[in-house]
Amino acid sequence: MTNPYAPPQAAVDDISEPQSFAVPADRGTRLGAALIDSFLFVFAVYMPLLIAVGAASQGEIQTDEPSLPLDRIALWSAIVALVGLAVWSWFTLRFMARSSQSIAKKWLRIKVVRADGSPVSLGRLVWLRNVVVWILSLIPLFGIIDVLFIFGEARQCLHDKIADTIVIKA
């Protein structure tokens, strides 16, 4: 006979070990990713620009004129640099949209998440971590101060604090 006044009973499984919070990425790995991303940017944008300027100034670009005038060299170089920038931007945004990682972060197995561990949006990555910080970098010494914040206990640069993000091992 069941007691109608007894509290309700439910079969509840034990809760497993709480999930440990994500492990922050090493400072050296973050530095490596920043250097690799910078190298990729230089390779995609500045190298074609330098090659175009060098080729145009040496007259190696085939035209009906013996050498290109300065304004054509500038135009040709700008077009090449913009194409390189478009290619670099396409790859970088594609990686960031898929996995919150730049190309180098993907290679080094680290990624950006919100400070609470939730996924970060592409808008937050682009606007708060990059555009706002780029504007702030016009302030003298901001770049150095931004980077020095990595030595805090949370391993967050100033741009991480602005965007409320952390970089973790993926």
**Band of the pLDDT at 142, cuts 50, 70, 90?**
very high
CA-nearest of 109, 102, 119, 111 to 34 is: 102
Task: Please tell me the predicted confidence (pLDDT) of residue 18.
Answer: 45
Task: Please tell me the predicted confidence (pLDDT) of residue 49.
Answer: 81
- Any residues with CB less than 8 A from the CB of 147 and at least 6 apart, and which? 157
Task: Please tell me the predicted confidence (pLDDT) of residue 127.
Answer: 94
Is 5 contained in some domain? no
Is 17 contained in some domain? no
Is 8 contained in some domain? no
Which residues span the domain enclosing 60?
Answer: 27-169
Residue percentage of the chain with pLDDT more than 70: 86
Is it the case that residue 70 has pLDDT exceeding 70? no
Is 20 contained in some domain? no
Residue 60: DSSP 8-state? -
* Count of domains forming the chain: 1
Is 18 contained in some domain? no
Is it the case that residue 21 has pLDDT exceeding 90? no
Is 56 contained in some domain? yes
> CA 125, CA 70: separation in Å to the nearest integer?
39
Tell me what the mean pLDDT of segment 10-36 comes to.
79
